[in-house]
Amino acid sequence: MIGPDGKTYSVPANYASKSKLVDGDALKLTIADDGTFVYKQIGPVERRRAIGKLIRDPETDEFVVQAGAKNYKLLRASITYFKAVEGDEIVVLLPQNAESKWAAVENIIKGGVPADYVLDEHVNKEPAEVDDPLLPVTA
């Protein structure tokens, strides 16, 4: 996180994973008198979903999701929380209107999704507007 003072603040991986943060989200940081950092997501950016396969990057040996022709970095906290294993299909969140090297894990799909499932039709709709209950938007 880059604060209004230009300083960089580390966001705990568990918070970023649980909150499904993506590049461009606005956060508020409160530093308590005892030095405790309290983060709060105050402005999520519009998101899009992608489905990819969990693989290990051959150069870094870190987990990434291969979605289309691009690989996205993932937080290890997300991978361990969902108990994902290499080869799993993963639904990730990405910024709608920006490029990113990172993706937020939304869910793991065991057994895959139907080949004709069109994911982008469901992006940024209210849950009541989503016909397919597989991936309702909860942004």
* pLDDT tens by residue, 3-52: 888 889 889 999 999 999 999 999 999 989 999 999 999 999 999 999 99
* pLDDT tens by residue, 47-75: 999 999 999 998 999 999 999 899 999 99
* pLDDT tens by residue, 71-116: 999 999 999 999 999 999 999 999 999 999 999 999 998 766 555 5
In total, the chain counts a number of residues equal to: 139
If one counts every other C-beta atom within 10 angstroms of the C-beta of residue 100, the result is: 15
* Whether 87 contacts 54, CB under 8 Å: yes
Q: Specify which residues 53 forms β-bridges with.
A: 66, 89
By three-state DSSP, how is residue 136 classified? Answer: coil
